[in-house]
């Protein structure tokens, strides 16, 4: 039986006094706060939540800053970041369904249990999983690449429109994947049984192998400098995701980051995962109440969230290498 888990309402650090990357699309609470964190499936669910939170910090950061990027040089860097983020999300989704879920299904001896395109939703169970965000994700990648080549043609309203169409579907998809991971607890078998324990151990071993494979095949010069600045080590009172050794962070800072340092400046955290103010915001935004801040005539509450009064979701269904899955 699943217990409730929530979307995190803004919990930004005092370092970031204006709008920050935990809005307008809210972040996910890690399931380990309300479930048995010692179970391997909950460990996998926590990893999923952290990964999707990193994605949405990137989406939120781009959305908030898009109207205030005006110079062609800045636009070029900004669009490079948008392209990198889109490619990373695409690769993650592809890997999940082509490699990760089949491996978990093999361990659980339940073919199709995770790859079948039915998934929980906040309001009902067994709904058809909505993948309509995928073409929009492709549109983001295409627009960012095409416009980066001619940054003087950058139009923030186009980018904002793409993100408004992308984020709600991706957010719902992320929710479904976290719930799928939580569901593997019951799929392991009767709690406390030898068979359930064995499946749990096998799941964790499979996750370790898959995570190492994903890390080895990732575009490290682009993904790692971005990922370390999309993690928030103060989230939920402090965390060490994705467990990077200090020397690895130094290597990312000194060897991998400089080539595209212009793009990484738009990200919401320092190389050490500490929240920082977003550099491209209108000065008045820090003074405006959250939710109706405007700039250049662009409303800062996406239409998909305009009528939202709470960010909670009700009960559903009753290493050196950073985590990539």
Instruction: Tell me: pLDDT of 295 over 60.
Output: no
Alpha helices by DSSP H, listed for the chain, are: 40-65, 72-95, 101-108, 133-148, 156-187, 194-217, 220-228, 246-251, 261-264
User: pLDDT digit string (tens) for 134-187?
Assistant: 999 999 999 999 999 999 999 999 999 999 999 999 999 999 999 999 999 999
> What is the reported pLDDT for 1?
35
Domain boundaries, the chain: 17-305
Put residue 112 in one of left, alpha, beta given phi > 0 → left and psi -120 to 50 → alpha. left
Given a contact cutoff of 8 angstroms between Cβ atoms, the answer to whether 322 and 54 are in contact is no
List the single range of 99-108, 130-139, 212-221, 294-303 with lowest mean pLDDT.
294-303
Q: What is the DSSP letter of 275?
A: B
Q: Reduced to 3 states, what is the DSSP secondary structure of residue 99?
A: helix
At 34, the pLDDT band (50, 70, 90 cuts) reads: very high
pLDDT: which is higher, 58 or 12: 58
Locus of tokens 């490699």: 99
Q: How far is CA 221 from the centre of its chain?
A: 19
């Amino acid at each position: 039986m699943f217990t409730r888990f929530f979307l995190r309402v803004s919990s930004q650090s005092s370092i970031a006094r204006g709008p920050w990357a935990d809005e307008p699309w809210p972040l996910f609470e890690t399931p380990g706060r309300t479930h048995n964190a010692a179970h391997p499936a909950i460990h996998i669910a926590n990893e999923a939540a952290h990964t999707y939170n990193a994605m949405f910090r990137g989406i939120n950061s781009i959305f908030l800053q898009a109207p205030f990027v005006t110079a062609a040089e800045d636009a070029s860097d900004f669009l490079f970041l948008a392209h990198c983020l889109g490619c990373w999300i695409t690769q993650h989704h592809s890997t999940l369904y082509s490699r990760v879920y089949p491996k978990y299904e093999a361990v659980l001896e339940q073919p199709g249990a995770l790859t079948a395109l039915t998934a929980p939703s906040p309001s009902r169970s067994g709904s058809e999983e909505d993948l309509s965000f995928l073409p929009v994700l492709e549109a983001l990648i295409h627009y960012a690449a095409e416009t980066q080549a001619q940054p003087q043609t950058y139009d923030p309203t186009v980018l904002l429109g793409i993100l408004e169409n992308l984020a709600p579907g991706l957010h719902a998809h992320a929710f479904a994947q976290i719930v799928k991971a939580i569901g593997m607890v019951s799929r392991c078998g009767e709690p406390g049984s030898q068979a359930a324990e064995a499946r749990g151990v096998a799941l964790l071993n499979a996750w370790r192998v898959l995570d190492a494979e994903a890390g080895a095949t990732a575009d490290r010069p682009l993904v790692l400098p971005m990922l370390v600045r999309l993690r928030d080590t103060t989230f939920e009172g402090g965390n060490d995701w994705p467990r990077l050794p200090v020397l690895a962070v130094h290597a990312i800072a000194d060897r991998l980051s400089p080539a595209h340092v212009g793009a990484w400046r738009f990200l919401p955290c320092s190389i050490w995962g500490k929240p920082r103010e977003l550099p491209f915001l209108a000065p008045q935004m820090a003074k405006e109440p959250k939710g109706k801040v405007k700039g250049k005539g662009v409303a800062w509450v996406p239409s998909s969230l305009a009528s939202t009064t709470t960010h909670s979701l009700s009960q559903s269904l009753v290493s050196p290498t950073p985590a990539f899955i």
